């Protein structure tokens, strides 16, 4: 006797979906910091491109999407737990409900749409209907892979990070002027920078200052954007990998040394774990520059973290480690500007070199201060990179020194970090 097994698919309850759409239609009224990415979004508002805002969870993507909402927009946040049963089959019902509730509109704003498998097909259909679409997501690989399959050449991707120092000052309602400032204003900026280095830039944490918030944020990223998404069988190795990175900011890493720490048998698996953490915007790898792409891929890597406060909370360090935290803040500022970042190391080392249009255009060294014990080393590392890549100017970023150094027709500008972080 054969039993015919019928497959049943749980469908989203239509009345619940309606309730969610109505509740999300109310735009929250709150004072917000105008994020730098907003101007770039507005630049593309009249183009046909799909606008993708990607970044780590809770860095402010949803708030930015709320900022661009108006009466011609539909808004749906798929990070709502009431949409747990929503599937690609429900998009058409959702569209019909939106029109029924709010009339026909031409702009769609989808928050964390990556939670719905197959979302890109529905978005492609809207695009073909000449609708304007804004999307947020917290997994770089997922967005690029799925957009690449169905929406190649039809989207603009804009990465987003926790508050920059400039945005932090705006959040604190402090002035950002760096020229013609009084000694009192300078002292205020230095104090604010010191607090920024400790507090980091996650907006909600800055409101509450509760460490549990950051711990929960980290757990959310690890479980939802890494373990669940990549179907990892154990949480211990990926957490130990994240712990290692948080403890070793600005240092060169070895996949083999992390392999020993985690107990995994393959350095290749560690490499994949690092990619998962990068895709979730939790950690970043910076390669040693080499004109050979193959050698660059297999070269040493330095690691950085999404936020100084989160790194301090998660990692292990015996001291305050201001130099490494300062280097991390500089890295994040370069990343916000979408720079192509490497480090240089031959006889000496230079912390950051920037590549544009196929050539190295700038070299940056970072140190807490230039003093007798490290001056020669820091200048030598920068000079070596400047000569190697034929640069006439270089920068040394310190906590609070200003100086002009000329050596062998090369000009080195020593600038305070709080001032450099506020430069456009």
Provide the pLDDT for residue 176: 92
pLDDT at 126 over 90: yes
> Sorting pLDDT into bands at 50, 70 and 90, what band is 142?
low
Domain membership of residue 5 (yes or no) is: no
44's tokens: 């593309």
The confidence score (pLDDT) of residue 3 equals 43
pLDDT at residue number 376: 97
**Interval 74-117: pLDDT, tens:** 999 999 999 999 999 999 999 999 999 999 999 999 999 988 98
pLDDT tens digits for range 352-396: 999 999 999 999 999 999 999 999 999 999 999 999 999 999 999
How confident is residue 4, by pLDDT bands cut at 50, 70 and 90?
very low
User: pLDDT at position 260, please?
Assistant: 82
**Cα separation of 267 and 269, whole Å?**
5
Q: Answer for the pair 21, 104: CB distance below 8 angstroms, yes or no.
A: no
Using the 3D structure, point to which of 122, 138, 159 is the last residue of a domain. 159
- Indicate whether 8 belongs to any domain: no
CATH of the domain at 18: 3.40.50.300
pLDDT of residue 8: 45
Q: Do 207 and 138 reside in the same domain of the chain?
A: no
**Number of structural domains, the chain?**
2
Same domain for 230 and 338, yes or no, is yes
E-strand ranges in 260-299 read: 283-287
Look at residue 148 in the predicted model and tell me its pLDDT.
67
Least-confidence region, from 152-161, 165-174, 301-310: 152-161
> What does the pLDDT read at residue 54?
92
Q: Are residues 283 and 394 in the same domain?
A: yes
**Residue 257 and residue 398 in one domain:** yes
pLDDT over 70, % of the chain: 96
Nearest C-alpha neighbor of 171 from the set 136, 138, 209, 134: 209
119 and 175 part of one domain = no
Same domain (yes/no): 135, 195: no
pLDDT > 70? residue 196: yes
Regarding whether 201 and 153 lie in a shared domain, the answer is no
What burial class does residue 144 get, using C-beta atoms within 10 Å of its C-beta: 0-12 exposed, 13-18 middle, 19+ buried?
Answer: middle
- Reply yes or no on whether the pLDDT at 143 is more than 80: no
**Mean pLDDT score across all residues of the chain:** 92
Cα 387 off chain centre by:
32
Per-residue pLDDT tens digits for 250-276: 999 988 888 888 888 888 899 999 999
The confidence band for 2, taking pLDDT boundaries of 50, 70 and 90, is: very low
Give pLDDT tens digits for 272-320.
Answer: 999 999 999 999 999 999 888 777 777 889 999 999 999 999 999 878 8
Range of the domain at 196: 167-420
Q: Token pair of 177, please? A: 């002027």
102, 125, 159: which is the final residue of a domain? Answer: 159
Are residues 133 and 192 located together in one domain of the fold? no
In this structure, the answer to whether residues 191 and 117 fall within a common structural domain is: no
- Residue 145 banded pLDDT, cuts 50, 70, 90: low
* pLDDT above 80 for 150: no
- Residues 201, 274, single domain; the answer is yes
User: Could you tell me if 70 and 209 lie in one domain?
Assistant: no
Q: Among the ranges 41-45, 147-151, 198-202, which has the highest mean pLDDT value?
A: 198-202
Short-list 323, 284, 325, CA closest to 304 = 284
Q: 300 and 370: one domain? A: yes
Q: Smallest Cα–Cα separation from 84: which of 10, 8, 7? A: 10
Mean pLDDT of 65-75: 93
Burial class (CB in 10 A: 0-12, 13-18, 19+), 269: middle
Domain boundary among 159, 180, 213: 159
């Amino acid at each position: 006797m054969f039993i015919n097994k019928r497959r049943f698919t749980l469908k989203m309850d239509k009345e619940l979906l309606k309730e969610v759409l109505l509740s999300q239609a109310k735009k929250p009224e709150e004072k917000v910091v105008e994020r730098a990415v907003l101007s770039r979004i507005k630049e593309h508002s009249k183009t046909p491109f799909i606008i993708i805002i990607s970044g780590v969870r809770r860095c402010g993507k949803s708030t930015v999407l709320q900022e661009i909402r108006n009466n011609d927009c539909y808004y749906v946040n798929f990070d709502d737990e009431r949409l747990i049963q929503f599937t690609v089959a429900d998009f058409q019902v959702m569209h019909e409900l939106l029109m029924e509730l709010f009339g026909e509109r031409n702009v769609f704003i989808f928050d964390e749409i990556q939670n719905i498998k197959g979302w890109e097909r529905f978005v492609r259909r809207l695009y073909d209907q000449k609708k304007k679409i804004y999307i947020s997501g917290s997994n770089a690989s997922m967005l690029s892979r799925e957009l690449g399959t169905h929406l190649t050449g039809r989207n603009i991707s804009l990465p987003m990070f926790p508050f920059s120092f400039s945005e932090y000052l705006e959040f604190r309602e402090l002035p950002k002027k760096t020229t013609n400032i009084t000694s009192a204003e300078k002292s205020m900026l230095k104090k604010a920078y010191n607090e920024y280095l400790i507090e980091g830039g996650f907006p909600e944490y800055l409101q509450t200052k509760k460490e549990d918030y950051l711990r929960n944020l980290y757990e959310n990223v690890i479980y939802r954007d890494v373990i669940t998404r990549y179907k990892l069988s154990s949480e211990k190795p990926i957490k130990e990998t994240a712990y290692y990175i948080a403890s070793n900011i600005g240092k060169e890493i070895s996949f083999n040394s992390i392999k020993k720490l985690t107990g995994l048998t393959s350095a290749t698996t560690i490499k994949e774990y690092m990619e998962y953490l990068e895709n979730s915007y939790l950690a970043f790898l910076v390669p040693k520059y080499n004109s050979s792409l193959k050698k660059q891929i297999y070269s040493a890597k330095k690691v950085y973290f999404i936020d100084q406060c989160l790194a301090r909370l998660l990692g292990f360090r015996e001291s305050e480690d201001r130099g490494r935290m300062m280097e991390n803040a500089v890295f994040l500022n370069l990343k916000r500007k979408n720079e192509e970042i490497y480090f240089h190391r031959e006889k000496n080392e230079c912390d950051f070199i920037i590549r544009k249009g196929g050539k190295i255009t700038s070299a940056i060294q970072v140190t807490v201060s230039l003093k007798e014990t490290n001056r020669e080393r820091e200048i030598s590392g920068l000079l070596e990179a400047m000569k190697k890549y034929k640069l006439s100017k270089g920068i040394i970023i310190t906590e609070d020194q200003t100086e002009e150094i000329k050596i062998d027709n090369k000009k080195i500008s020593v600038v305070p970090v709080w001032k450099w972080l506020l430069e456009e």
